Structure 1
Amino acid sequence: MSDVPHYFADAVPAHLVPWDQLTEDRRQESPPPVPAGYLLVELFDSRRMARPAIATPAYRGRSGDCPGDRRAAGLWAKEVLTDPCTVLLDIEATDFDGRLIEIALLRPDGELLLDTLVNPGDVVIADEAAAKHGITVSMLQADGVPTFAELYDDLVDLLTGARIICWNSAFDRGLMTLEADLLLPHYYTNAAETEWVAARWEDAMAQHAAWVGEPSVTGTGYRPHRLNGPHRALGDCETMIDRLTEMAANPYPRPGTVRGNWSAADKAEVASLFDHGNAPDEIAEITGRTLDSVTWQLYQLGRLLFPSHLVRQPSGQAAPKPPQAYTMDDLRREHPNSHKRWTPEEEVRLMTRHAEGATVQDLISEFGRNYNAITIRLAQSRQGDASEPPV
């Protein structure tokens, strides 16, 4: 083997091909006794890639029902911005399936690692792409614009072991892999399968979609959003930092913005958050529910004692004075349903509205009953004693 020439990938003579290609071309029926050369392939230390892949949050329901995904995406953005291995990468191309013509690498703290046009040779830039980024063929063919081959070694040094963040990583990673594969000997045909740099690629667009929380039109996953950057590589990297900063600063829905019935998944999430040490007010912030609604659910789930404060008159508001009336007609002018028997439907609606955060005064107006009727019915419903209608 020592007498046979050894070649690196970029120095293999065109007439030397692998045995499987000779077999496919039917030039040879049996292997030769001694190969004419050996190909040396670069190897990478897999221990530098110890981080696990980050899964994109899955869509679990309608918009607003998955605050946990928003929180996870916000915390992901915060981690990315503080990770010393993070490199934001963006490229521009001749077309969606074209050639690479610009690349920028930027650290979250603003340190610029690379910002350059890339000369792909004799190419045509699609009109739609040119209208967006404004890059022309004459700009690419100007003196001093490097080719991808000339940038290759620097890119490998800058990106090996890095945590690469892209907006739609499938596009950026796929196009850069294609450029790297074009540097391989002509007999390599599985271009998209070549891992040219040992790095971890993550998609900021998918995480941002989970943070926004709008359902996809396909019914699965979240709807992705455009970056809305200047459509130049460095400018888009800077816009990515702005989006990640916004996500990291606002990982929670606004308290009280999530309404509607509690699903089994909602209740399980609240129970899990409480069991992991989160206080009710923290859970309200995380889930976007009101504090009273969260407190009541925790009571029903057996995590808290009966929240008697929820049936009291709000602090600073005096209880309404009893009406000065002595006939049923006089009483019902003030409270239309006074002394009427509660229906099961009314009782359910009363508890639901109270759990949603309605005040006692709101319930008095909505149900047409007085203060005592509302507060006593709330207490009796919790204790399972609704035998007598309060007045």
Structure 2
Amino acid sequence: MIPPHRLDIDAPWLFEALASPWGADPAEAARRLEEFWAPAGDGIACLSVRSAFALLLQAAGWAAGDEVVCTAINIPDMRRIITEHRLTATVVDVAEDTLAPEPGALERALGPRVRAVLVAHLFGGRVKLEPILALARPRGIMVIEDAAQAFRGPRERGHPEADVSLFSFGMLKTATACGGALTRVRNPALLTRMRQIQAGWPLQPAGAYFRRLLRMCAIAAGQIPPVYGALSAGLRGAGVSLGAVMRAMSRGLPDRADASYLDCLQLAPCAPLLNFLTRRLQRFDPERLLHRAAAAESVLSRFPASMRVGTGLEAPSWWLAPLLVPAPGQLRKRLLNEGFDVSDASNVCAIGEVPRARAMIEHLVFLPVAPEYPPRVLERLADCVQGAIAETSAPGAAPC
């Protein structure tokens, strides 16, 4: 059984993470990481992209009721962080090909209380920021790029004109360090405030990070196809989806039942995480990224443009391989019988009254593509998807 997603890490890296020194100084670890990634001094390391975004909004100090315009598809937490800071999230719909807002709609959304535009780069590609910057700059509006899914290597620091660029190294992300985020901030005064605020946050307990590493080891072991198949079959008999279990295990919000949502985000990263992320960047393998993109393209290219998402993205590395299908639930059931666990779009959402984005989410699946799989497996995957679509599109086919 092919799992829906493969962690971007192998066993030697996991052993290295577990065997790392655990008594290092977090301030020194952060300094080394930030100097390596952002030698110009415009970078800050955080626990997660959500923590970094919360830190940014706190440092910005905007008034209650001010607005942040968001592109329509993202994880639900980003909107929640905006509202937790007593700000208003104003949403603009996006196109299927570029995943960018239509310029006219974006311009209409940029009212007098808008302080920032948050653009999500999805599925390993990048939205073209130039049209967005052209609208935001004359109005003095900050442009924030959420590049959690779009990291392309250690020299990746985002669009040079973006005000803030956010990169994630959470459990499911490219070059995962089982957590951590890097943020480039163009405004030195804003960056200084962010550093000052984060310095007052509690430190992520090293023990909590160690437990997350153990959880990641368990997920990585469970994603080995024969193991995944055996576990999946056992859980399916009890009506449980192994893919859903693994997604739940991979979530990165700290476990603090006695704390508010923002308190859970307001933690500074521990030294072991920072040191491990530094090593991950120093020994980043660009060939793996190329192989991942080629593997996804070899499957996605078998389908017509009307079924593709993000064909107009810049330099897609296909962290996820998205496809629009007429009956996602039925396709997933049929592919499961063929040995492929296809995931739905439950990890992202369409925010607000956004018909194009909602239509995409309703018909979106992510194909289980990874550079580990040989061409014959990828070819069979494409064949099975095409066959399943033909069956579910036939007259009298069972609905989702």
Of the two structures, which has the highest relative contact order with CA contacts closer than 8 Å and spacing of 6 or more?
2
TM-score under structure 2 normalisation?
Answer: 0.21
Question: So what's the TM-score if we normalise by structure 1?
Answer: 0.21
